[in-house]
Amino acid sequence: MNDFPFGAAIRHEWDLDPAVAYLNHGSFGVTPRTVLAAQAAWRHKIERNPATFMAAARAGLLREAAAPVAAYLGAKGDDLAFMENATSAANAVLRSLAFAPGDEILITSLGYRAVNHAAAYVGARAGATVVEVKIPLPTGGPDDIVAAVTQKLSPKTRLAVFDHIAPQSAIVLPIARLVAAAHAVGAQVLVDGAHVPGQLMLDIPALGADYYVANLHKWLLVPRGCAIVWAPRERQEGLHPLTISHGYGQGFLAEFDWTGTRDLSGWLCAPEGIAAHRRLGGERLMERNRALARDMAAMLAHRWGTGLAAPPDMFAAMAVVRLPDSPRDHLEVTDWLRKTHRIEAPVYRIDGALWVRIAAQAYNEPADYERLAVAIESGL
């Protein structure tokens, strides 16, 4: 990969502040200039005649944009709809399903807090019980996670919600094994793949899940506000968007593709994000980012005398490293890194310890992580 320019040599592709060591691609993504230009072109096209565009052209163009996105994810275009973010997509699934007293919804402590809250809300309204699987950090490996989940699954489990890549710990969960374990007790499975497209090659149907939601605006370089909800044909009936609108009762795509007026430009240029990702290396870029994240996590753990949240092979383009012991609040440390050292990297307090999550994207290089190492060594 030495023949391809990464790091500072390619940072001009983004509008990032050159003074900031940006190690937080995972939170909100960073859109390349070429994709922003494509989005601007779509906005201009819409403004030429908004009424005709929204009333006559919109539906066909959305399906045209969905087709290459679905193909990239191993899916069929008619099984996938656009939404604003993975949290909204997960909410749409959770609120579409029927639960009753005595039913259980299984979540894990590694799950995204917003989606876990949504599960709690839905469960409380139906009188169902939310069962949380506690997975302490550091984890020993995939077998430990599968064993912990299997112990909590039961014939009462109606839905299991698993993150494909856990947001705070950055752990890549053994998702196919977890889906199989949940199906073995008769539960449906919702997979939150918010961080997956662009970090890992993905074949959604092959995982066997009943529902899959994911962001395209994080690692696949699409503008913010672009995510997908996927369901196989047999699960689409009864699945509704959060906003019930004109398409109600007319089928999955009719309902999700039109819930009201919104800026469609980010969705329509989703294929441009995929093209940009491929131009930057595609699979090779993902391999490079995984290697950089794991190498830099190992370097930081060695420098600080700490450890990782999981074995290295359970990380993709993000990794989580334990910080030296400190009584400081995690938000205070995040703010200190941002304001004092111009480093963007989220810090979390999990199981009583402070952990920092690093991300690796094409514009990152070892010098960025060296800045983080020195900042923490200067006095946490």
| DSSP per position, 281-316 | TTHHHHHHHHHHHHHHHHHHHHHHT--BSS-GGG-S
Q: pLDDT tier at 5 (50, 70, 90 boundaries)?
A: confident
29 HSE (CA, 13 A, CB side): 27
DSSP 271: H
Structural tokens at position 171: 């752990």
Q: pLDDT tier at 2 (50, 70, 90 boundaries)?
A: very low
Q: pLDDT tier at 294 (50, 70, 90 boundaries)?
A: very high
Question: Under a CB-based contact definition with an 8 Å cutoff, are residues 322 and 301 in contact?
Answer: yes
Average pLDDT, rounded, for the chain: 97
Per-residue model confidence (pLDDT) at position 271: 98
Residue 299's contacts (CB-CB under 8 Å, 6 or more residues apart) are 366, 369, 373
pLDDT digits (tens, 9 = 90+) for 118-176: 999 999 999 999 999 999 999 999 999 999 999 999 999 999 999 999 999 999 999 99
pLDDT digits (tens, 9 = 90+) for 69-118: 999 999 999 999 999 999 999 999 999 999 999 999 999 999 999 999 99
Q: How many CB atoms lie within 10 A of CB 330?
A: 18
Q: pLDDT tier at 258 (50, 70, 90 boundaries)?
A: very high
Per-residue model confidence (pLDDT) at position 1: 42
Q: How many CB atoms lie within 10 A of CB 31?
A: 23
| pLDDT of 3 above 70 | no
For the beta sheet containing 347-350, the strands, ordered from the edge strand earlier in sequence to the opposite edge, are 318-322, 353-359, 347-350
Residue 352's contacts (CB-CB under 8 Å, 6 or more residues apart) are none
What's the rounded mean pLDDT across residues 355-377? 98
Pairing of strands 129-133, 104-108: parallel
Residue 345's contacts (CB-CB under 8 Å, 6 or more residues apart) are 21, 23, 24, 334, 337, 356, 357, 358, 372
Sorted by where each starts, the structural domains of the chain and their CATH numbers stand as: 7-32+281-377 (3.90.1150.10), 38-275 (3.40.640.10)
Q: How far apart are CA 72 and CA 66, in angstroms?
A: 10
Q: How many CB atoms lie within 10 A of CB 325?
A: 10
Measured CA to CA in angstroms, residue 202 lies from 30, 175, 176, 232, 332 at distances of: 21, 12, 12, 16, 36
Q: How far apart are CA 25 and CA 363, in angstroms?
A: 10
Per-residue model confidence (pLDDT) at position 7: 96
Structural tokens at position 70: 């679905």
| pLDDT of 380 above 90 | no
High-pLDDT (> 70) share of the chain, %:
99
pLDDT digits (tens, 9 = 90+) for 33-69: 999 999 999 999 999 999 999 999 999 999 999 999 9
Residue type, 105: I
Per-residue model confidence (pLDDT) at position 4: 65
Max distance between CA atoms of the chain, in angstroms, equals 62
| pLDDT of 338 above 90 | yes
